[in-house]
A and B are shown apart, each in its own frame.
Chain A
């Protein structure tokens, strides 16, 4: 079974530029998560999708971050414009059921973003 795929693996941009990350979850997984992991910290949930609907985006900085999962499969996370403090690893995860407790979240390798 293929794991969660993410691209690109690394991205370096200047502040005020835009950037987009792509995630392909495990086949058949209805729930998809985007996390931000700042160096030295644990991952923080940005947004959760159930199929193509948003379940929780309370921690997403909506003035600059956006995410979509139009067909309920792949997802993109965009930052526009980027700030220095957005430098982090962006992790995508997926799980097979409705996101209830005890579901295993499978993580991708992440995209490391550096904002100069």
Chain B
């Protein structure tokens, strides 16, 4: 099974905030990532956070990290139809290896 776990689906109304949650297992992970995958496309890096940080904000994106609970979340403010995609949480293992969750499919409804 996956070492990184995510809920599979999220439905959100356009204009509302989306929150995608992730739990990981490797306490030595130094970096945690969020990737976005649109249909037929590769993965696009959205943001990443270093493990000594609690929060990182980048325009509409806010990442929260609770290292004690090994919990990571991604908040998308003012969700738009273009935000409909699969979002993957990933942790880095050793120096380079990324371990991905199964992805959360976000559907934005009008």
Contacts and interface: CB of A to CB of B under 8 A. Distances in A.
Interface of A: 4, 31, 40-45, 48, 55-56, 91, 93, 98-110
Given A99-B95, A101-B30, A102-B31, A44 B100 contact: yes
B69 interface: no
A92 to B, nearest CB: 8
7 contacts: A43-B98, A45-B97, A55-B96, A99-B96, A101-B96, A104-B45, A109-B40
B56 to A, nearest CB: 13
A104 B48 CA distance: 9
Given A56-B97, A91-B42, 12 more contacts: A4-B42, A40-B102, A40-B103, A41-B2, A42-B101, A43-B98, A45-B98, A91-B43, A101-B31, A101-B96, A103-B96, A105-B45
B102 A41 contact: yes
A109 B42 contact: yes
A43 B48 contact: no
Interface size class of B (residues with CB under 8 A): 20 to 34
B92 A108 contact: no
Interface string B20-60: 00000000001100010000111111001010000000000
A43 B97 contact: no
Nearest to B48: A102
Contacts of A100: 95-96
Nearest to B31: A101
A42 B103 contact: yes
